[in-house]
Every structure is written in structure tokens, then in C-alpha cells.
Structure 1
Amino acid sequence: MSTKILIAYFSHWGHTRQLAELIADLTGGDLFEITTDHHYPVAHDPCSAQAHQEQLTDFRPHLTSQVAKMDQYEMVLIGHPIWWYRAPMVIRSFEESYDLTGKTLIPFCTSGDVGIEQTKADLRQMVPAATVLPGLRLGSLAVATSRQRVIDWLKADGVPVKEEAYDKG
């Protein structure tokens, strides 16, 4: 039996969406956009200030989308931009909305220059009864040129990649 994969992502400027869509194409996993009715400014600086304030107050944005039958997924890839060295607080809302016990969780993120280390540590703390694999961080503007890097990362983390994914080069 094949592993049932969910690619859940939150994307504000579209970079993480682009990466999530690539992962879904390569794996055949189900794509799920994490959405909220909480508004984030389009401009970087106001959005950054708001994200920082949300972290300081441990705010949880309300989710407007829900995964149907989360229990069917063995592997959940969770994608997001990195804001203030961490996942946006909407990701915590997502993680707290489901029983992720026993699942394999794999973070993937986009950022200008911040690494994935804090994201992985936070995920391990939020969901201690799950297996958290290394994950991937790509530069926000590098997604379009990183297909082979994404394939290599997926294989290294044990994520099944569709055979036909290799044919597209």
C-alpha cells in the first residue's frame, strides 16, 4: 500500500504556494491550502511587524479551511514562509487543529535568508508524538529553478516521488 501524503501550506506572497504545487506534482500528494480570515498586509514591513506582534502575543488566527479526514494521511508536509525566524502563527493554528500523533511531519518553507532550524524545533515542540524529518528551506525567489533540489530532498526524507517526475527534468 502506498503512503497517503498531504501537502498543507500557507502562502502570503505566492512563493510557498509555488513550492507546494511543485511538491504535489512530484509526489501525487493531496494539496491543501491553509487559509484564515485574518488579514495580512501586502507590503513587507507592515506584514513583518504584524507577524512579530502575533508571535509576541502567541496569537492563533482562525482557520477558514479544514482538512477532510486528516486521519487518512500518514505523511504531512507543512509549508509556509518564515516570518521572524518561525512559521506564521496560522501554522500553529493548523497544527493544533488536528491529532498529528504518529504521523510523519516534514516542514518546507521559503524565506529571503533565514534558515529552517527554528521551524523544525517549533514543530517538534508542538507535536512531540510525531516524527519530524529535516525538511527544506528555499530562497523565496529560487523555487522556479529548484526542481532537482526538491526531488533530491524528497528522496532523502523518504517521500515517494512519482516515476514520471524524473522525465520532466
Structure 2
Amino acid sequence: MKRRDFLKQSAFALAGLAMLSLGCGSDKTAKADAPQPEVKQSTNEGASQAMNNNGKKILVAYFSWSGNTKAVAEEIHKQVGGDIVEIVPATPYSENYSVTVAKAKTEQEAGARPAISTKIADFEQYDTIYLGYPNWWGSMPMPVATFIDTYKMSGKKVAPFFTHGGGGVQRCMSDLEARAQGANVTDYLCLSGSSAKNSQGEITSWVKKTQN
């Protein structure tokens, strides 16, 4: 992974460091309103058949800004089958790193619930949700909180996975458990951003644990 991409992930995890310098300015580089993301089915026949034999319907849902969490989500989807969908904010974050860092902090401090364009027609059909996101300021990005509030997890198995730039899991797991009331939350998978795209072995080991 390039040094620049690693640095993008790093500052999000340093929530407790007062010396962290945040960029200011208008969000001039934000993309246009995001299109509604599609729920995509697995193209892995073996994984899909395994899902059918187990009698469980699986959804992999993820939020990703730099692409690291997306890479992990796609590998999980490849292994477990089912459907996959990206959690996309209705107003995308800026591609400017400093602007996004500052906005993420402001949203978390305000307990914001940014609108998301992700729509799932029949969420009730899913038994297991693989839910992934990066560590932003020690916890989940606020669009993920919107997703959890919108699509109730009660009675479902939730298998969480996180990426980080040096801060580890911090409150990513505890905040999820607090928000996903009534869900059966499995042990988590936590990967550094620098290893996210080359962690097939770790992902495989974790997936097997979630299927017990």
C-alpha cells in the first residue's frame, strides 16, 4: 500500500490525541450526490451453495472511504456468498483528506445521522449481517449509525469487521453493541489499513468462527 493511502487511514484512529492537526475549508472537492447503491448477489457458486445448505440468508454491508474496508468486504463476500451492499452517504464525503477528517469529527461530536442513499427492499430476509467500517475517531463513521438505526438488527447475527490506521478497535465494537440492540454480535475482525488487501488468511479464519 502506498504511504499516502496509509496516512489517510492513520489520523482517523487517533481520536485521543490533542495534537492532531485538522484541515479546514469548504468541501469543494465533494462528488455529486451519490447514486443509490445496488444490493449485489454473490457470483461465487460454491459460497452461495454453502449459504443455501446452511439455510441462512447473508448480507455483507460496508462503509469505505479509502477503499480498505471495501477490499475486506469483497473478500468476505467472496468467501461467504449472499448479497453485498455499500453504505453510501447521500452527500458524499470530500476527496480532500483534511476536510473529511474534520467533518467526521464534527459529525461524531454532534451525534449526527447523515442521510444515506443505501436502500434495501427486504432487509428482514437476512439472517446474518457482516457489517464493516473503518475506525474514525475511535468509533464508527456516522453514516453507519444511520444504517443501524434504519435497518434494525434485533434477532440477527451481526459479524463486525473493522479497518484502522493504528488505533485498533477502540470503541468500534462497544458502540456497535450499544446501537444494535437485540442482535447476536459475534467476535470482530480488525485489520490495519495497510494489510487490508492482503489478509485472506485472517479473513478465512474469522469467517469460520462466525459460522459456528
Note whether the superposition's TM-score is higher than 0.5. yes
Matched to 2:124, the amino acid is D
Deviations 1:22-75 (A, max 9, x none): 000011121111111223122333211111110011111101111121111111
1:39-50 to structure 2, matched below 5 A, reads: 39-50=92-103
Among candidates 129, 138, 151, match of residue 85 of structure 1: 138
**Residue 117 of structure 1: CA displacement?**
4.2
Among candidates 184, 193, 196, match of residue 140 of structure 1: 193
Paired residues of 1:77 and 1:108 also in contact (CA < 8 A):
yes
- RMSD, aligned α-carbons: 1.3
User: How far apart, CA to CA, are the structure 1 residues paired with 2:196 and 2:74?
Assistant: 11
Say if 2:123 is the partner of 1:70: yes
Paired residues of 2:132 and 2:161 also in contact (CA < 8 A):
yes
Secondary structure, counterpart of 1:42 in structure 2 = coil
Matched to 1:32, the amino acid is V
Paired residues of 1:107 and 1:119 also in contact (CA < 8 A):
no
Among candidates 105, 108, 113, match of residue 158 of structure 2: 105
Matched to 1:20, the amino acid is A
User: How far apart, CA to CA, are the structure 2 residues paired with 1:24 and 1:118?
Assistant: 25
What is the aligned partner in structure 1 of residue 80 from structure 2? 27
Among candidates 183, 195, 202, match of residue 130 of structure 1: 183
Displacement over 3 Å in runs of 4+ = none
- Shifted more, 109-118 versus 97-106: the winner is 109-118
What is the aligned partner in structure 1 of residue 48 from structure 2? none
User: How far apart, CA to CA, are the structure 2 residues paired with 1:35 and 1:128?
Assistant: 23
User: How far apart, CA to CA, are the structure 2 residues paired with 1:144 and 1:53?
Assistant: 29
Alignment coverage as a number of residue pairs: 159
User: How far apart, CA to CA, are the structure 1 residues paired with 2:183 and 2:78?
Assistant: 25
Deviations 1:87-137 (A, max 9, x none): 100000000002211001111111111222411111111122111111111
What is the aligned partner in structure 2 of residue 116 from structure 1? 169
Say if 2:59 is the partner of 1:6: yes
Matched to 2:75, the amino acid is L
What is the aligned partner in structure 2 of residue 16 from structure 1? 69
Question: Which one has the largest radius of gyration?
Answer: 2
Matched to 1:142, the amino acid is S
What is the aligned partner in structure 1 of residue 148 from structure 2? 95
Matched to 2:169, the amino acid is I
Paired residues of 1:7 and 1:78 also in contact (CA < 8 A):
yes
Point out where structure 2 has 5 or more consecutive residues left out of the alignment: 1-53
Percent of residue pairs bearing the same amino acid type:
32
Secondary structure, counterpart of 2:171 in structure 1 = helix
Report the TM-score when normalising by structure 1. 0.88
User: How far apart, CA to CA, are the structure 2 residues paired with 1:96 and 1:141?
Assistant: 30
Matched to 2:96, the amino acid is A
